[in-house]
Copies of this chain bind each other. A is one copy, B any other.
Amino acid sequence: MDVNLVAAVRRFNRTVTQRVGALDDRYMARGRPLAQARLLWEIGPGGAEVAALRSRLGLDSGYLSRLLRTLEGDGLVTVGPADRAGGDGRVRVAALTGAGLAEWSELDRRSDEFARSVLAPLPGRRRERLVAAMAEVERLLVASLVVIGPCPPGDPRARACVRAYAREVGRRFDGGFDPAVSSPVHDEELVPPAGVFLLASLNGEPVGCGAVKLHAGAPAEIKRVWVSDSVRGLGVGRRMLDELERYAAERGWAAVRLDTNRALTEAIAMYRSAGYQEVEPFNTEPYAHHWFEKLLAP
């Protein structure tokens, strides 16, 4: 990887995280310990479950409990049982009191003020360029936060991805898409050792999927490669494809293949650029127009 690019990223990290980050903290914690301020902020006007707070802030259970007790003692927060009927009686939710809400608004105001202080010294044009550049950095950084890993096909997140996939395909195919007509894929085929289902997640939210079936005595077959709109163009599809190929290659398969619909033009371009060759139809999938195959390096 180009050394100049790496150096530029390092410079950016240094400038931005140290200076802006540190300043941001000072703005947040108004006399209050930073951890408390962050917690108060994270609870927010709508309240939050204690478990959610723990995972969002990455805090130890005991430490969080103590922080909540302190805020409760200051009259900013109330912690009580979740009042959802039929809910788990163990989970507790934290909510802001009137005073807590006032405090939260103050934090919100300060956060706003800080953002303004970043923009204020710039002339109008540059302001817009800064914001545009920030949006681009943010969007592209997201790519490094997407993690791809195996997931049972029955998992709700996996199901959500497959549904999103079907919805999109239904919207884009000329004559719509009827899952009953397409050749079916059963969950058992996507569980090791028969195959695998991979999920791409961003901060725990599913943003893409892909699967491979390891057919005995035939090339492995890639299915259901899908990437959410929110992260399209960030190379997630390509990484998914790489992972699926790697899975097959590591288990001894020498080739993978897949079929696709002519409406999915970006997908087709990606397959070609990833080294897939168009081949004669190898199945009778009614929605397919193109069939691809790629030989895997051993």
Contact = CB atoms under 8 A, between A and B. Distances in A.
A8 B142 CA distance: 15
Interface in A104-129: 111-112, 114-123, 126-129
A19 interface: yes
Contacts of A133: 133-134, 136-137, 140
B134 A121 contact: no
B137 A137 contact: yes
Nearest to A143: B121
B136 A239 contact: no
A145 B6 contact: no
A24 interface: yes
A13 B115 contact: yes
A282 B146 CA distance: 65
A121 B239 contact: yes
Interface string A186-227: 000000000000000000000000000000000000000000
A13 B22 CA distance: 11
A209 to B, nearest CB: 17
A239 B133 CA distance: 23
A279 interface: no
B13 A131 contact: no
Contact of A144 (B9, B12, B120, B233): B120
A15 interface: yes
A264 interface: no
B140 A234 contact: no
Interface of A: 1, 5-13, 15-21, 24, 111-112, 114-123, 126-131, 133-138, 140-146, 233-236, 238-239
9 contacts: A8-B131, A9-B134, A13-B114, A15-B138, A17-B21, A121-B239, A122-B144, A130-B140, A137-B137
Closest 5 A/B residue pairs (Cβ): A17-B21, A9-B115, A133-B136, A12-B134, A130-B140
